[in-house]
Amino acid sequence: MTWSFRIAQIAGINIRVHVTFFLILALGAIQWGGQGGGLDGALFGVVLMLLLFTCVTLHELGHSIVANRLGVPVREIVLLPLGGVAVMNKQPEKPIHEFLISIAGPLVNVVIALLLAIPVGAQVRMSLLDGRGLLPETVNDPSLNTLLFWLFSANISLVVFNLIPAFPLDGGRILRSLLALAIGYPRATRIAIAIGQTIAIGLGVFGVLSGNLVLALIAVFIFFGAGQEVMSGRAQLSRGIFDTRKIGDAYNKHALTLAMGDKVSAVVDFILTSYQPDFVVLQGAKPIGIVTRDDVIRSLAKLDYDAFVTEVMKREMVSLDADKSLDEARTLLHEQGARVALVMRSGEYLGLVSLEDIQEAMAVLTFVQYRDKRKTAPAG
């Protein structure tokens, strides 16, 4: 994800922070620093937000560590102002795995809340004994007690919010996985999406009527998140054909190739006349590098047309066996962080395939499958 940078690596997972995250820190500082809070208040606000996001990170790590254990590699965790996202290369295959991965996040916050309940409980008991009411009056002052109390409430909120049974929240995934155990993924996904969007509409109406704009915004976020899930739900439906269709059916068989002695000017000509974005550089029949359109554009800023393609090509290449399925090929490219790969069959170079080629093939196959389903399946 662009506009984000790495701050740590825990259990082999990169933790990245999105730049907009600093807005939240600033917001914390303003909220606690204003109204006479001063510099101490502002610092308190920043520390509070940092601790809150530590809890969010631990939540995402909960998902990630369980996912890694179950063979679903997590590439990175990105911290955004709205919370965290654990970026997975693929979806868990078994419902029980999805259930365990989804529930692990909220469980982390339950544990944190339980740990915080000890000092917070003592604090509440003290104020009850003093006759000061259920909550200490000082709950808005920057103090350790306030810090603990806010973190306790925040973790409870994180659990409650994430367990709302609506995509893309954890609760939606938990609901889908439990349904999938009984009725399989395609129907479970459809039902879970319908339930989630109904809840989102309910929350939205309630938010608008009660003048709670934050709630209304969250409802919009859930509603459209569910829409995205419809897309990946479609991917679930189509997984079958992507597993059986081979990469050997999706690569460009008529791709233009470059030789070692070719110059950058030849690639520019190719790009202008062929719409082909990537080119392999061959030494005889053996691929020795890949030149992409971006490489060429970047190199023209520094080198001239007379430079050799061997100066701008990438020598590290991902190879895919032509018998790999579209799904495997896509996963491999994602894992390697590559956009384009060599298609090989028993050591012989066949052509290039890019993520866009694979996505295009998948889109076409999905469409064909849908059309066939509509023709053969009974209504409903």
Q: Which of 107/355 has CB closer to Zn ion?
A: 107
Q: Which of 107/255 has CB closer to Zn ion?
A: 107
CB of 123 to Zn ion, least distance (A): 28
Backbone angles phi, psi at 18, to 5 degrees: -80, 145
CB of 59 to Zn ion, least distance (A): 5
Q: Which of 84/289 has CB closer to Zn ion?
A: 84
CB of 152 to Zn ion, least distance (A): 19
How far apart CA 110 and CA 374 sit, in angstroms, is: 45
CB-based contacts of 107, cutoff 8 Å, min separation 6:
62
x/- letters, 162..181, toward Zn ion (CB under 5 A): --------x-----------
Q: Which of 1/364 has CB closer to Zn ion?
A: 1
For residue 45, state whether it binds Zn ion (rule: CB under 5 A): no
Give the interface size with Zn ion as a residue count (CB under 5 A).
Answer: 2
Question: Residue by residue, what is the 3-state secondary structure of 320-372?
Answer: EECCCEHHHHHHHHHHHCCCEEEEEECCEEEEEEEHHHHHHHHHHHHHHHHHH
**Six-digit token pair at 158?**
């994180």
**Six-digit token pair at 68?**
């890694």
Q: Which of 196/248 has CB closer to Zn ion?
A: 196
Is the separation of the CB atoms in 70 and 101 below 8 Å?
yes
Is the separation of the CB atoms in 116 and 52 below 8 Å?
no
Q: Annotate 29-98 with DSSP letters as a single string.
A: HHHHHTTTTHHHHHHHHHHHHHHHHHHHHHHHHHHHHHHHHTT--EEEEEEETTEEEEEESS--SSHHHH
Q: Which of 171/233 has CB closer to Zn ion?
A: 171
Q: Which helix (H) or strand (E) holds 290?
A: strand 286-292
Query: Where in 311-370 is the site for Zn ion (CB under 5 A)?
Result: none
Q: Which of 109/238 has CB closer to Zn ion?
A: 109
CB of 104 to Zn ion, least distance (A): 8
Residue with tokens 């000092």: 119
Residue nearest to Zn ion (CB): 105
CB of 105 to Zn ion, least distance (A): 3
Which range in 105-113, 257-265, 326-334, 342-350 contacts Zn ion by CB under 5 A?
105-113
CB of 272 to Zn ion, least distance (A): 48
CB of 119 to Zn ion, least distance (A): 25
Name which position in 41, 105, 168, 287 contacts Zn ion (CB under 5 A): 105
Which range in 98-106, 171-179, 272-280, 358-366 contacts Zn ion by CB under 5 A?
98-106
Q: Counting runs of H as helices and runs of E as strands, what totals does the chain give? A: 12, 10
Catalog residues that contact Zn ion under the rule CB under 5 A. 105, 170
